[in-house]
Amino acid sequence: MAKITDEEIQAAFAPHLHEGEELRYWAFGVKQPNIFLLIGLICLAVLPGLIAVMLLTKNYYIGLTNKRLIVLTVKSMKPEDVKEVTEYDLSELSGANASTSTGGLFTHITIKDSEKPFKAKFHRAFSKSNRPNAVAIGEAIAA
């Protein structure tokens, strides 16, 4: 797959920005099914299991502005294939509602919201800026 450019990301988020908002950070992340489900599906049959895993994995682009966190659910890694948009007002997020953790490979971001919960992991190898951006977003929403 071709490298995703900042211009493509800006274009994907532009329709969802309010006047005066500016995209500060963005990151690509995924939410995969439970690891035991993944292993079970692949053990049953490799190819159908891999197809099922691919279909059950959700892809996200998250963007932090000066006022909001915007989550774009996308069909694939292409930022223009937006299926759903979820927004969180930064003033409503706090350390109690949002948490983040960074490990060797992934940065995990979780938002505990009864109406629109969010949980995803952001791989450092997606792009050079994916990990630092995910960490910056996590710090901003968990503060």
- Residue 130 belongs to domain with CATH number: 2.30.29.30
The answer to whether residue 62 is domain-embedded is yes
The answer to whether residue 130 is domain-embedded is yes
- Of the candidates 49, 47, 23, 27, the residue with the CA atom closest to the CA atom of residue 38: 49
- Of the candidates 71, 62, 86, 68, the residue with the CA atom closest to the CA atom of residue 21: 68
Residue ranges making up the domain that contains 90: 7-14+22-32+58-142
Predicted pLDDT of residue 64:
96
Q: Over the stretch 97-142, which tens digit does the pLDDT of each residue have?
A: 888 888 888 999 999 988 899 999 999 888 888 999 999 999 999 8
What would the mean pLDDT of 34-47 be, rounded to a whole number?
82
The H-or-E segment that residue 106 falls in is strand 106-111
The pair of structure tokens assigned to 142 is: 């968990």
11-14 contact pairs (CB < 8 A, 24+):
11/79, 11/80, 12/61, 12/72, 12/79, 12/80, 12/82, 13/61, 13/63, 13/70, 13/72
- Structure confidence at residue 21 as a pLDDT band (50, 70, 90): very high
Dihedral (C-alpha) 20, 89, 82, 123: value to the nearest 10 degrees?
110
The answer to whether residue 50 is domain-embedded is no
What is the number of domains present in the chain? Answer: 1
Predicted pLDDT of residue 109:
94
Predicted pLDDT of residue 24:
96
Predicted pLDDT of residue 95:
66
Indicate whether 96 pLDDT > 70: no
Sort strands 82-89 and 68-74 into parallel, antiparallel or unpaired.
antiparallel
Provide the mean pLDDT of the chain: 88
What would the mean pLDDT of 7-31 be, rounded to a whole number?
93
